[in-house]
Amino acid sequence: MTATQPPRGRGRPKGGNSHSRERLLDAGLTHFARFGYEGASLRKIAAEAGCDMAMIAHYFGSKGELWAAVVDAAFERNRATFAEWAPKLADPALPLAERLRIGLTELFDEVVAEPRITKLLMQEMSEPGERLDHLITHSLAPWLAVYLPLWKAAQEAGVLAIRDPVILHLGLLGALSLLVTGRPALERIRGKTGTLEEIREVFVVGILERLSPPDRSSGPL
C-alpha cells in the first residue's frame, strides 16, 4: 500500500493520549467508508479525531497502514463474537433448519452491526490490488470459513441448489449489504419504514423457505 507519509516530528504529537489511536481508527473508518480510500483525507481524519497529522504517522506510519488497521480493528470486533455461535453451524446434533436460521441471522447481524465497514467492503471488493488482498486474507476468507460447514451440510442434504458455496455466501453478503446501505431507498420504495428486526425476519424466513425441500409434505428442514 502506498501513500505519502507525514513527516515525524520530535516528541509526542499534539493530541496524543491513551485513547487517540482508537479515535483515529473510528474517524478513519468513517472517512474511508464515506469517501473511499483515495478520497479520504488524512488531515480531516486527524481533525475529526482531535489529533494532528503527526499522530497518524506516530501510530500507523502511512495512509495505507491506517486503512489496514481500520479494517483489522473492525473485523476483530466481529471475530470476538464468532466463538459464541460459530460452533453451532457445524454441530450435527442441531437440526439443519436451526443451524441455517442461526447462520443467516448472524450473517445479517454481522453486516448491519457496522454499516461503515459494509460500505467500505462494497467499495474495495470491486478493485483488485493490495487492499482487496488484505480484505480477503484477513477478513473475508476467515469469515467464509466459519460458514462453509453449514453451506456444505445444506448441499449434502439436497436443499441447497447453488453448487458453489462461495457464490452463495458472497451473493447473500451482497444482498444484505444492499439492504443496509440502501435502506433509505428501500423505505421509499416500500412506502413505509421498517425496523432492522423486521427486515431481518423477512430476509431469513424468505431464504429458509427457498431452501426448503421440494416435497413440502415431508415437513420443514
For residue 29, the domain's CATH number is 1.10.10.60
Q: What residues contact 33, with CB distance under 8 A and at least 6 apart?
A: 115, 116, 117, 119, 120, 123
Nine cell digits for residue 31? 472517512
Does 10 reside within a domain? no
pLDDT at position 219, please? Answer: 44
**Do 46 and 148 have their domain in common?**
no
**Do 37 and 96 have their domain in common?**
no
pLDDT at position 218, please? Answer: 41
Nine cell digits for residue 67? 486503512
**Do 40 and 103 have their domain in common?**
no
pLDDT at position 215, please? Answer: 46
**Do 52 and 108 have their domain in common?**
no
Residue where one domain finishes, among candidates 6, 30, 61? 61
**Do 143 and 78 have their domain in common?**
yes
**Do 36 and 116 have their domain in common?**
no
Does 160 reside within a domain? yes
CA distance 13 to 31: 21
Residues 88-116 have a mean pLDDT of 90
Q: At what angle do helices 20-39 and 42-49 cross, to 10 degrees?
A: 150
Residues 164-193 have a mean pLDDT of 87
**Do 40 and 124 have their domain in common?**
no
HSE (side-chain half, CA atoms, 13 Å) at 87? 3
Residue 212 in this model has a pLDDT that exceeds 60: no
**Do 87 and 196 have their domain in common?**
yes
Say which residue the cell 457445524 belongs to. Answer: 90
Does 153 reside within a domain? yes
**Do 108 and 46 have their domain in common?**
no
**Do 153 and 173 have their domain in common?**
yes
**Do 111 and 208 have their domain in common?**
yes
Say what the pTM is: 0.79
Count of structural domains, the chain:
2
CA distance 35 to 41: 9
**Do 54 and 86 have their domain in common?**
no
The alpha helices in the chain, defined as continuous H runs, are 20-39, 42-49, 54-59, 63-89, 96-113, 115-124, 130-135, 141-156, 165-181, 183-190, 196-211
CATH code assigned at 165 = 1.10.357
Does 170 reside within a domain? yes
CA distance 134 to 120: 13
Does 11 reside within a domain? no
Does 66 reside within a domain? no
Write the pLDDT tens digit of every residue in 196-211: 888 889 888 888 887 7
Residue 128's domain spans which residues? 71-212
Residue 18 in this model has a pLDDT that exceeds 70: no
Does 122 reside within a domain? yes
Write the pLDDT tens digit of every residue in 19-72: 899 999 999 999 999 999 999 999 999 999 999 999 999 999 999 999 999 999
**By percentage, how much of the chain surpasses pLDDT 70?**
87
Does 131 reside within a domain? yes
